[in-house]
Amino acid sequence: MPSSNYEKAMSQAKLPYTAVARTSQEMSSQHVRFAHEQHLSEAADIEESELFNMPARRTDTMEGADNDALYYAVSLGARRRTRKGRVFWVTVLSLVIVSVVGMVWLYFDGISWMQRSKKRNVILMISDGFGPASETMARNYVQQINDLPIDFKSPLDEILVGSSRTRSKSSLVTDSAAGATAFSCLIKTYNGAIAVAEDKLPCGTVLEAAKLQRGMYTGLVATSRITHATPASFSSHVTHRDMEDLIAEYQIGNYSLGPVVDLMFGGGRCHFMPNTHANVSCRMDARDLWSEAQASGFHTLSTRKQFDALDAHGAAKSLPILGAFAPSHMEYEIDRDAATQPSLAEMSAKALGILDAATKKKNAGFFLMIEGSRIDMAAHTNDPAAHLRDIIAYWDAITVVRKFVDEHPDTVLISVSDHETGGFSTAKQLTP
3-state secondary structure of 299: strand
Short-list 328, 323, 332, CA closest to 377: 332
d(Cα 356, Cα 374) in Å, to the nearest integer? 27
Burial of 430 (0-12, 13-18, 19+ CB in 10 A): exposed
**DSSP tag of 159:** G
Per-state percent for the chain, helix, strand, coil, to nearest 5: 45, 10, 40
d(CA 399, CA 381): 27
Amino acid at 52: F
DSSP H or E stretch at residue 387: helix 384-407
Nearest C-alpha neighbor of 394 from the set 379, 416, 409: 416
CB of 365 closer than 8 Å to CB of 349: no
What is the per-residue DSSP string for 39-63?
A: HHHHHTT--HHHHHS--GGGHHHHT
Can you tell me the distance from the alpha carbon of 28 to that of 401, in angstroms, rounded to the nearest whole number? 96
Q: Which of 179, 91, 68 is nearest to 417 (CA)?
A: 179
CA–CA distance, 342 with 347 (Å, rounded to integer): 6
Catalytic residues: 176
Which residues contact residue 372 at a Cβ distance below 8 angstroms, ignoring those fewer than 6 apart?
125, 126, 127, 128, 130, 223, 344, 390, 391, 393, 394, 397
Task: Report the distance separating Cα 402 and Cα 404, nearest Å.
Answer: 5
Task: Evaluate the CA torsion angle 237, 242, 246, 247 in order and state its sign.
Answer: positive
Q: For residue 238, what are the β-bridge partners?
A: 194
Distance CA 85, CA 248 (A): 71
**How many whole angstroms from its chain centre is CA 101?**
28
